[in-house]
Amino acid sequence: MCAAGAPAWSGRAERPRPAAGCPARHPRAALHEAARQLGQVPGFGHALYPAGDPRGTALLAALAQTWPGAPGVQAALALGAAAQEETGEHPNVDLALAALIHVLGRDPEDTATLFALGRAVGWLAHALEAGQGGLLRPRARYVGPPLAGSI
């Protein structure tokens, strides 16, 4: 679970928890406070999913259907709507995982475990695809130095 410890991830799903636990009636204030404290609003936007993170969308929809009255779910949905209006950013899987952890009453550290579990399943899927000659992450683009032997 190297990716779960990488600087690009660094437990992002744990950081939205305080905002996800705020009253759903003050989402803009929570967004502004997170931006002030952290310099960004974690739980929104994703480089590979500029039109919205399908993982976050699916998980938030499942949470809204299963626990529609849960304060953490209501707050996450309100935060998502406010962020989209103010910044155009969509909720990502980090916010959805934080909402799930909140609903389940689990420790914020459990979010990293859920993230790593999902990552492990994805790696297994990539291994199966590679064994069948499939593409790995076709949406991603390599932006590093030219590889030896490449055109």
DSSP 36: H
Amino acid found at 113: T
The Cα–Cα gap between 130 and 125 comes to 9
Kindly indicate the confidence band of residue 138, based on its pLDDT and cuts at 50, 70 and 90. low
The set of residues, in sequence order, having a beta carbon less than 8 Å from that of 70 and lying 6+ positions away, is: 63, 102, 103
Domains of the chain with CATH codes:
14-122 (1.10.230.10)
**Cα–Cα distance for residue pair 102/7, rounded to 1 Å:** 24
pTM of the model: 0.72
* Segment holding 82, helix H or strand E: helix 71-87
Tens of pLDDT along 113-129? 989 998 899 888 888 88
Q: Whose structure tokens read 């399908």?
A: 54
For tokens 């304060």, the residue is 71
